[in-house]
Amino acid sequence: MSLPKQITDLADVLRGLPQVGQRQAMRFALALVRDGQLRAELAAAIAALGGATARCARCLRLAETSPCRLCADSHRDQSLLLVVEEDTDLEHLEGTGAYHGQYFVLGGRFTASRGTAEEQGLSLSALAARLTESKGTLKELIIAANPTIDGDTLALELQRVAKTAGVATSRLGRGLPTGGEIEYADDDTLRESLQKRG
pLDDT at 181: 75
- What's the average model confidence in pLDDT over 148-166? 92
At the top level of CATH, which class does the domain 5-52 belong to? mainly alpha
pTM listed for this prediction: 0.76
For every residue of 93-142, DSSP letters joined together read: HHHTT---EEEEE-SS---GGG--TTTTT--HHHHHHHHHHTTTT--EEE
Residue 182, pLDDT score: 67
CATH 1.10.8 location in the chain: 5-52
pLDDT at 52 over 70: no
- Residue 197 has a pLDDT of 66
Is residue 175 a contact partner of residue 193, using CB atoms and an 8 Å limit? yes
Ramachandran assignment for 97, one of left (phi > 0), alpha (psi -120 to 50 degrees), beta (any other): left
- Choice between 44 and 198, residue whose per-residue pLDDT is larger: 44
> Using one digit for the tens of pLDDT, what is the confidence trace for 160-178?
999 999 999 999 887 767 6
Q: Which pLDDT score, from 0 to 100, does residue 119 have?
A: 86
Q: Are strands 77-84 and 140-143 parallel, antiparallel or unpaired?
A: parallel
Mean pLDDT of 11-15: 93
Instruction: Give yes or no for residue 1 having a pLDDT over 70.
Output: no
Q: Model confidence over 79-92: pLDDT tens digits?
A: 999 999 999 999 99
Strand partners, 84: 105
Output the pLDDT for position 154: 93
Asked whether the predicted pLDDT for residue 198 surpasses 60, the reply is no
* Greater pLDDT, 85 or 47: 85
Mean pLDDT of the chain: 88
Positions of CATH 3.40.1360.10 in the chain: 71-171
CATH 3.40.1360.10 for domain 71-171, yes or no, is: yes
Mean pLDDT score, 31-56: 86
Where does the pLDDT of residue 66 fall: very low under 50, low under 70, confident under 90, or very high at 90 and above? confident
Percent of the residues in the chain that have a pLDDT greater than 70, as a whole number: 95
